[in-house]
A and B are shown apart, each in its own frame.
Chain A
Amino acid sequence: MMSGEFIAFMGIALVAVIGGVLLLNLSNVMHMMVALVFTFVSIAGIYVLLSAEFVAAVQILIYAGAITIIMLFGIMLTRHEDTSEAPGSSWRKFAVFLGVLGFAAVLYFGIYNLDLPQMENTLHEKNTMQIGEALYSKFVIPFELTSVLLLVALIGSIMLAKKDDEKEGDKE
């Protein structure tokens, strides 16, 4: 039962989980972001396995490209100590860890023997064209709402970030 697809899934999943664990354990914020890029790229690989080519490309374009860049700006624009560890709150961390573990156990109990049948599908044939046809015929309203959302995000972020400029302009 060790098909090539399964081996590929295992490798990609391993890289994704290692990236996530490194994100939690590294102390330098820059190294954390590099670990996160590994996770994002391997999630794109998962999408390829799930016959979602276009979503994989978008994953690399938006997450590994844009969101990582913007988070790096967030790190570089703020002063920070390199360690992000809180001093003396290990019991709290342990409690959170137990809670997350319990949550994971409950959900895993729900999905571990979930047997969804895999039907013959055509998702991998002309994937982008299928998405385009669905997006611009069935999902017109969400699509236009997305443009409004992006506009609001752009204007709101400019207003929030611009104040600093004016203040510094006064100082200079």
Chain B
Amino acid sequence: MSGVPASAFLSLALILFCIGLYGALTKRNTVIVLVSIELMLNAVNINLVTFSKYGMMPNITGQVFALFAMSVAAAEAAVGLAILFALYRNKKSVNIDEMDAMKN
């Protein structure tokens, strides 16, 4: 019926998730780490929408769930950046390896 199998979409989501994971684990700038986390959430949304179309029972629920995930992601980005500004006021740095006040 259609040219694109579900595994192609899932593989794309996997690649994007891994890019986001690598970025979140290696980048020093906290803003870029937050952006990488958004990319991971996006990959998850692709999975949700894929499973809403493929499978035995195509259903709108996956798309509605993706909408909720997006609004939660927006709220998370807003609060994450506000926390980043609060940290930046005290430490004058956005590098993630300098935020180790609880380590020692």
The answer on direct contact between A and B (beta carbons under 8 Å) is: yes
Min CB–CB distance A134 → chain B (angstroms): 5
Please pick, from A54, A73, A100, the residue contacting B18 in the complex, using a CB distance under 8 A: A100
Complex interface: chain A residues within 8 A of B8 (CB): 9, 13
> For chain B, what secondary structure do more than half of its interface residues adopt (helix, strand, loop), or is it mixed?
helix
Contact call B55/A119, Cβ cutoff below 8 A:
yes
Contact call A73/B14, Cβ cutoff below 8 A:
no
State in angstroms the CA–CA spacing of A84 and B24 once bound together: 12
* Residues 53-80 (chain A) with a chain B CB within 8 angstroms: 54-55, 58-59, 62-63, 66-67, 70-71, 73-75, 77-80
Encode contact with A along B26-65: 1 for CB under 8 Å, 0 otherwise. 1111011011101100100110011011111110110110
> For chain A, what secondary structure do more than half of its interface residues adopt (helix, strand, loop), or is it mixed?
helix
Given contacts A23-B23, A116-B6, contact A70 B81 (CB under 8 A): yes
Can you identify 16 A-B contacts, CB atoms within 8 angstroms?
A23-B19, A46-B49, A52-B49, A55-B45, A58-B67, A62-B74, A63-B38, A63-B73, A67-B73, A67-B74, A96-B26, A113-B7, A115-B6, A117-B56, A158-B82, A160-B83
